[in-house]
Amino acid sequence: MVLINFFISYWIILYIKFVNWKFTGSFVNIFSFVLTLQESLKMENKIYEQSEKLILAQKYQKQKTFLTVASSLFLFFYTFLFVLFFLKQDENVFELDPFFSGVCYFAIYFVLRTFLSLPFEIKQSFKLPRKIGLSNETFFLWITNQIKSFLLVLFFGSLASGVLLVCIQKNPDYWWLYFSILISCIFIFIFLFGQTVIAPLFFNFEKLSDTKIENLLLNLKKKVGFKGQNHIWVMKTKKHGDYANAFVCGFGPTRKIVITENILEYNPEEIECIVAHELAHQFYSHNLFLCIYKIISFAVGIYFFKFLLSTELFYFYSNGLNISSANTIGIFLVFFSVLNFFISPILLRVSREIEFACDLFAFKHVTKPKNLITILKKLCVRNYCDPSPSLFSKFFFYTHPPFSERINRLISFLH
């Protein structure tokens, strides 16, 4: 399974690199660029003019990583113990049809999981960002958004769990295929409507009123061949925190460019650089690639899970568990937690290559390319990012390349 994902990822990375080489005309810049530790350390001093703030940023990122690892381990063992408890209990507790058994099982699991992980969530996503100045959310606003997220996961998770048991009972041989199709539909829904439908549940949006910035971004849109709405939208984020971001959402003629209101604090040319990076994702169809990648990975993973359930080893250690029982959901969660541990670094590696590709695309299309380097430095400092994180953090947690690598690669490309 891991080898299959590695093989798929390898060819995606090669494709990304080939497109960049073809696009930039520079084979050396893409394949031969080597970032040394010495260059990374020099870049830290160029990004953070104040060493005290660099130390604070590194401390903040280390605390985030520690809390993420601690909460992940805690929740994994919770899931494992939950499965062990229900090995002899679920047949007696859930005397319901398969669908409602799955719904009840997941609901109990997820409610307990949310309650037990609450101290980690409060520390990691509420207290820590407020302490460093990244967030100004009130506790009421924070807990409101947490409840919204909880209800969304509870709804989709319960639905998927119920359907999983129905598929197993009705189609013992091909349930994995039908369930893969269902989850693929969810992936496609998130791909097409995720930011359009879900984001408004947490944020308000309005049209950009600054005509100078709007005209600059609309000209960029025409230059790269982006087809969508002729308006730029602003996501109201100031009451949530000091976050600066941009993205493109929707599909077809409904696609639109969205920027957070904090981005408006930068000059127009720097804003253009941020939006150009996001438009590159659309130009290269990166989101479509990742959606297909996840669908294939999940389908292969669920087939291996089906194979695991049919082995004598599983039958022995599960005390003869009927695979259509509710506790199969718990075993499914444990299996994919372990699988995700091995697959996630591969997907993150692909993601980092994608972000490099978008940086180079933006570099070629913006009015003042050097401003891309300037805005990356500003974003790094603003978000208290570690310019040169440890290999462990980068390998397991970074969807984007560290800022020192991104900036050094752009400097190399500039020269």
Q: 134 CB contacts (<8 Å, ≥6 apart)?
A: 241, 242, 243, 383, 384
Distance CA 245, CA 260 (A): 6
| Beta pairing, strands 246-249 & 256-260 | antiparallel
With CA atoms as reference, report the closest residue to 260 among 311, 206, 215.
206
Distance CA 391, CA 393 (A): 6
The pLDDT of residue 90 is: 47
Domain locations in the chain as residue ranges: 2-203+280-414, 204-279
Give me the tens of pLDDT residue by residue for the chain, a chain 415 residues long: 544 444 444 445 444 444 444 444 433 343 334 444 445 445 554 787 777 888 898 999 999 999 999 999 999 999 999 988 876 654 555 567 889 889 999 999 999 999 999 999 999 999 999 988 888 889 999 999 999 999 999 999 999 999 999 998 888 888 999 999 988 888 888 777 777 778 888 888 899 988 899 999 999 988 888 888 888 989 988 888 777 888 888 777 778 889 998 899 999 999 999 999 999 998 888 888 888 888 888 899 999 888 887 776 665 555 556 677 888 898 899 999 998 898 889 889 989 999 999 999 999 999 888 999 999 999 998 889 999 898 899 999 999 999 999 999 898 887 6
Q: 200 CB contacts (<8 Å, ≥6 apart)?
A: none
Using a 10 angstrom Cβ sphere, with 0-12 exposed, 13-18 middle and 19 or more buried, the burial of residue 334 is: middle
CB atoms within 10 A of CB 206: 10
C-alpha to C-alpha distances, 18 to 14, 347, 412, nearest whole angstrom: 6, 18, 18
The pLDDT of residue 63 is: 93
The pLDDT of residue 28 is: 35
Question: Do residues 387 and 403 touch, judged by C-beta distance below 8 A?
Answer: yes
Hey, CA dihedral for 294, 296, 299, 304, is it positive or negative? negative
Distance CA 289, CA 284 (A): 9
pTM value?
A: 0.81
The three-state DSSP-derived secondary structure of 57-119 is: HHHHHHHHHHHHHHHHHHHHHHHHHHHHHHCCCHHHHCCCCHHHHHHHHHHHHHHHHHHHHHH
Q: Give the burial string for 109-131 (b: 16+ CB within 10 Å, else e).
A: bbeebbeebeebbebbbbebbbe
Superfamily of chain region 204-279: Metalloproteases ("zincins"), catalytic domain (3.30.2010.10)
The pLDDT of residue 275 is: 93
In degrees and rounded to multiples of 5, residue 256 shows phi and psi of -145, 155
> Can you say whether residue 257 is alpha, beta or left, with left for phi > 0 and alpha for psi between -120 and 50 degrees?
beta
CB atoms within 10 A of CB 232: 23
With CA atoms as reference, report the closest residue to 2 among 288, 327, 341.
341
Q: Side by side, which strands form the sheet with 204-207?
A: 204-207, 232-236, 256-260, 246-249
Distance CA 341, CA 178 (A): 25
> Can you say whether residue 87 is alpha, beta or left, with left for phi > 0 and alpha for psi between -120 and 50 degrees?
alpha
